[in-house]
Chain A
């Protein structure tokens, strides 16, 4: 059931996004209401950045709550679905943007230039789901060790992990080799 508040938000967002200065190619029915009652904009990766600019500047959504992704399963043409959620403290309002991507290694434009705090959310999303954010200034892993080859929250990742000890053992061998060399030099100096 849609409340008056939600209908008002939907009308406000639709008026700006599909108006005369709105996003190119965004239809009115792209702004709907999700099953949980939140106003949701369905966009394509090309439209995403433009939508976010309007949400921030024209509609007053001043903060990004999270960026996350959902894996629809291996072998699907449209495999990863991106979710962006925004909060407006001034209007006491939230809005969600969802973006379908194609392929196993999807790429979407970053929104770090609009909300700098999104950087960590996008790094986490790249780390765990393997979604690349083009234009991100510093797209490193956030939680898993640097140099890990896999993305743990994908559907085809086994829950027990793929060689979880590989990086540790690599580090351990290098450390022992360096110690053996320095120990040999020390003994050499003693003689």
Chain B
């Protein structure tokens, strides 16, 4: 009996050789279940995006779950106030890993035109954000485009490496953006040192 190569039919049709990272990422990116956190007018565009006209189901992300326990993608749609920030942070903490955050619209990305005492100047003050979508509010096309960009990004992740080494400590920390927000009242504050990845030894 001669040597059987992987390329010989019909044996090769029964399996596909791939990397574990690739197949895990492929499954993750095509079943992004969003948590629709509609805080203001962006929520309306969010509903239109999930509805039949723009049809987010084409990208595997149509199953909007209203409990954080079943979600992968937190879409912060709209102006986030400091009073709401505690609720948003709790929702993020209750989501199981792996999880991603998207800020929809300028208000949640940077505070937008609300440079005010009540509004958080960017969700990245309190959460690690993966994708920012500009617009006031952004069209559903723009958000779908960012979901595709997020999918490309997820495809480059290394889940097996994270499994072995553990998720880094700084994964749930924001950028500290709150301390250099455009507010003149706090502009004089010094930036904190960002936490660093623990050394290998």
Whether B86 and A162, one on each chain, are in contact in the complex, defined by CB atoms closer than 8 angstroms, is no
Contact A167/B82 with A158-B185, A161-B185, A162-B185 known, Cβ cut-off 8 Å: yes
CA distance A132 to B98 in the complex (A): 49
Binds A, one of B21-29, B68-76, B112-120: B112-120
Whether A168 and B126, one on each chain, are in contact in the complex, defined by CB atoms closer than 8 angstroms, is yes
Whether A160 and B86, one on each chain, are in contact in the complex, defined by CB atoms closer than 8 angstroms, is no
Whether A164 and B126, one on each chain, are in contact in the complex, defined by CB atoms closer than 8 angstroms, is no
Whether B53 sits at the interface, judged by CB under 8 Å, is: no
Count A/B pairs, Cβ under 8 Å.
45
Whether A159 sits at the interface, judged by CB under 8 Å, is: yes
Chain A residues near B120 (CB, 8 Å)?
Answer: 164-165
- A contacts with B: majority SS: loop
Whether A160 and B82, one on each chain, are in contact in the complex, defined by CB atoms closer than 8 angstroms, is no
CA distance A168 to B186 in the complex (A): 15
- B contacts with A: majority SS: helix
Contact count band on A:
10 to 19
CA distance A153 to B178 in the complex (A): 23
Chain B residues near A167 (CB, 8 Å)?
Answer: 82
Whether B63 sits at the interface, judged by CB under 8 Å, is: no
CA distance A73 to B126 in the complex (A): 36
Whether A27 sits at the interface, judged by CB under 8 Å, is: no
Q: Which residues of A contact B (CB under 8 A)?
A: 144-145, 152, 157-165, 167-168, 171-172
